[in-house]
Structure 1
């Protein structure tokens, strides 16, 4: 409502109430005044009648007819009243204004009849004698005992009407003055009140629209000032409470958004209440799921839907692991529990999703590692034990056999030593980090040249040519000993599994990438099938297990390379095609 409309409504209602009140008071005053005026005239007429009755000429206690005419002639000059004397038989004995000879009998006049009956009679009627409306008052003489006469006093009605009209004019002027004053007071009150009320209304509308920082100005009207203060205090409390709720909601949203576990909350009707980003990723949702969406529209995973149904039948939590992803490459752990309100009533279900894919892979790797270590250690230990027992059983008597058995024992002990050494190297690398590793600025060519020198004898024995391509001024921050070991392992792997004889070569190269150094080791061997590439850096993983053991490999060389590169914050990769050789690439950051 606009300020003008509010002003018109308030002023109109206020002024109308004042007009009605003043109107009722004026009407009551007018009617009461007329009645009082009428009573006053009747009292005056009665006084005149009583005075005239007391002054009537009497002879021997009776009305003196001879003196009546002179008496009424004298009364005719007094005021506006008309005096009349009526005898008991109805004849008019005297009249102050009219000749009695021309007047008829008055025993039928209502005021005379009433006076004879009660002592005093009053009537208002048209007079045939004077030709006008008259107000009559008649009095019996005497009031008690045998009647002697009736004295009647009358006055023209226009005399009363004239005086009443003057009084009405005065009352009307007074009424108009009161209404004018009331209008002025209403207008002033409206101006004084409507402004603050309009401000209160505008402020409340602004607060209702969400602007709780708005504060009402304090009006000069005491009651409105108290109301404005109360509204401001309420707005302060609401602002604090809403801010606290916002902070709590933001904190909850922040916690849910940064949780690695997925959280899905649904109500008793299986409609979504909340869903965090982690759950959206785990459930592979490509569309938004607003609050109120049915859970069967969010996910159609039968295992999860069955888990929710089972949770509603159970009192405690229900847990289950499911395979996730289109390619079944992930494992999710689901835990469903009742969602209760402050009164302890169940209002829905809370499902927590945890991605345990890596954990299960680590468990698999651990199991494979234990099995592989057991297998790799069992073979040389069994060989050493078997040939040693054979020697103890008498084979030592044959020098040729004993020497052959001892050479086997030495070879298996060396293999066992290599496995243990590589395992210790891996354990040491896993405990290291890029922050603790000493990585001075080093010339890369010197490290690679040293690695080639360590492998040269074995390469010559297998007829493999080693090539090095690296700028002498190329530098990188690295641990020279570890990088040398990684390159030696790659070269040794290429010599062992690559081609041998004429034309066989292993090329080692290093170049700058702008933000680091790339080292490549390329051979001309038989290559590696694609199915082995993803697992080739795992511990004890062999492409050709039988041939690797014959050549003395431990199955840990490439795994050591991977961990050396990781502690340098680098990456290692392999590219290979069957029959076209393999290329191992190490990327080291600057």
Structure 2
């Protein structure tokens, strides 16, 4: 824009300069012509006066030369002009500055020719005699006679040329001043024209570079002002539209990134154009590595590439389940949907990846649960039905047999009742329909009361139960559910510990290395840890990962004989998780087992 401003300024200066120069040339020429006209008029008047006073003679040429030469010199002394008398045939009769006898014939001189034609003739030329530019004016002595003699006066143009030179100097100076003024005015005019255009150009470049907040500062109502207003209106419209587009893009990106399913968009050429966060996690590749590249560049298993190729070729909805082994083993449900635009032209396929590993695992667990429940319920029901049929068949008449059978029926009915109760309890806990009523629990007295409830069974098996709990130890928990956790673990430890063994409970705070002291000088703690250890038979290492599963028993025969339902540890695990805690187990065969529970102090 600065170069345009310079060019515009130069154009204006040149135009003004040419106009001034032309005006100066015209004025100089007019001045010189007017000056020569004035001199001519003055010289004509002088010659008329001379002719009026001079007695014009004819006769011998020598006499005439002397007479007219003397008169010419006399007149020059008075008029300060060169005087020449010329005969009609061009012979010089007398001259104030030269000897007429040595002068050439003047019949062909311009002023003489014009004088014979018009009565008065004028010419300007360089005189070889006086070595100056001269103005010559010739006039007929008798204007009515074309063959009349001629009187001529000449005047040096030195003064006239000096006057013209002074005019040219003045014009040149004025032209320089005018050029300076014109340059300033032209720059000002160019600046006034180009500054708004420069601003409009800058704003246009900013809009081109996606800066839609750029605006033109409109200060006039002319065409440039209207152009600036139009650009501002365009920028307003673009800003609104781009804001909406960016908002829609952010919303779409947010939706895609937070979808629980992976989404991959593939164009008709097989290039990946979109990949959301879940798809990156499922496929094990980042969008930066795949977007813009062919789907085959993703080194996935062969089945995925085959189904994508099939969807691109047949352009129909396809669905399949494939097990992926990278980056981890997953079962994925694949949906490939063809994409068509408004003109029904094929644009590629949309691949939706749904991780159904957990769903299939839950379905399998549900099937196993139903099978286990059916099996567990069938056993006591079969026993009850069998012994009842035996009694109805006549065994009721034998009091001893009848009493034994009825006791078995009672025990199996009680076991069936406990089994149904545990199933219902576990179902409520898993569906989180168990409301927990949290309150501070003082653990020392809590553990003591819990051990009292289990003391009868421990005494019956001669098992020693000990507890070690730090004083003033509190935890925020549902007391009934916490007692259910501890009682289930104690019951398991007592049930699987041989007579004469021991069970111990240790409760301790878990101190943070950066913990501060409370008002009583004790360290603050955020978790408490409960250890329940026994000297029982222990659990094989291969069974440790599964002991918290429903109906899983390490020793099925012993579990049935002890009356266990196989749901106790599963209930304990779910209750601990409802308290936002964790439970782990450490066991050695023949040595015993230790269950460790970590619970947060505050819920």
User: What do residues 317-340 of structure 1 show as CA deviations (whole Å, max 9, x unaligned)?
Assistant: 554444345595433444455678
Alpha-carbon distance in structure 2 between the residues aligned to 1:437 and 1:535: 27
Sort the Cα spacing of 1:531 and 1:201 in 2 relative to 1 into closer, same or farther, 3 A: same
Give the corresponding residue for 1:581: 592
Question: How far 1:48 sits from its partner (Å)?
Answer: 6.9
User: What do residues 62-106 of structure 1 show as CA deviations (whole Å, max 9, x unaligned)?
Assistant: x97489959978975785665655445333456676665554432
User: What do residues 250-279 of structure 1 show as CA deviations (whole Å, max 9, x unaligned)?
Assistant: 555555555444455566666665555444
Sort the Cα spacing of 1:301 and 1:115 in 2 relative to 1 into closer, same or farther, 3 A: farther
8 A Cα contact 2:585 2:593, kept in partner = yes
Deviates more, 1:258-267 or 1:486-495: 258-267
Alpha-carbon distance in structure 2 between the residues aligned to 1:470 and 1:222: 95
8 A Cα contact 2:383 2:412, kept in partner = yes
* Unaligned segments of structure 1, at least 5 residues: none
* Unaligned segments of structure 2, at least 5 residues: 511-524
1:539 aligns with 2:536: no
Scaled by the length of structure 1, the TM-score of the pair is 0.74
Give the corresponding residue for 1:553: 564
Alpha-carbon distance in structure 2 between the residues aligned to 1:241 and 1:252: 16
Deviates more, 1:547-556 or 1:332-341: 332-341
User: Equivalent residues in 2 for 1:137-536 (5 A)?
Assistant: 147-149=147-149, 152=152, 154-182=154-182, 254-264=254-264, 275-284=275-284, 289=289, 300-313=300-313, 315=315, 318-324=318-324, 329-337=329-337, 350-392=350-392, 405-430=405-430, 436-459=435-458, 463-471=461-469, 474-496=473-495, 498-501=496-499, 503-513=500-510, 514-536=525-547
Alpha-carbon distance in structure 1 between the residues aligned to 2:346 and 2:121: 95
Scaled by the length of structure 2, the TM-score of the pair is 0.73
Alpha-carbon distance in structure 2 between the residues aligned to 1:460 and 1:493: 15
1:35 to 21, 29, 32: 29
User: Equivalent residues in 2 for 1:41-52 (5 A)?
Assistant: 43=37
SS of the counterpart of 2:546?
A: coil
Deviates more, 1:535-544 or 1:475-484: 475-484
Deviates more, 1:335-344 or 1:89-98: 335-344
User: Equivalent residues in 2 for 1:48-67 (5 A)?
Assistant: 65=58
User: Equivalent residues in 2 for 1:75-94 (5 A)?
Assistant: 82=82, 84=84, 86-92=86-92
Cα RMSD, aligned residues only:
5.3
Question: How far 1:428 sits from its partner (Å)?
Answer: 3.5
Give the corresponding residue for 2:575: 564
Question: How far 1:460 sits from its partner (Å)?
Answer: 5.3
Sort the Cα spacing of 1:41 and 1:140 in 2 relative to 1 into closer, same or farther, 3 A: farther
8 A Cα contact 2:506 2:531, kept in partner = yes
Equivalent pairs counted in the alignment come to: 576
Alpha-carbon distance in structure 2 between the residues aligned to 1:286 and 1:529: 43
Sort the Cα spacing of 1:554 and 1:574 in 2 relative to 1 into closer, same or farther, 3 A: same
Question: How far 1:131 sits from its partner (Å)?
Answer: 5.4
Alpha-carbon distance in structure 2 between the residues aligned to 1:142 and 1:293: 113
Alpha-carbon distance in structure 2 between the residues aligned to 1:77 and 1:412: 172
8 A Cα contact 2:107 2:113, kept in partner = yes
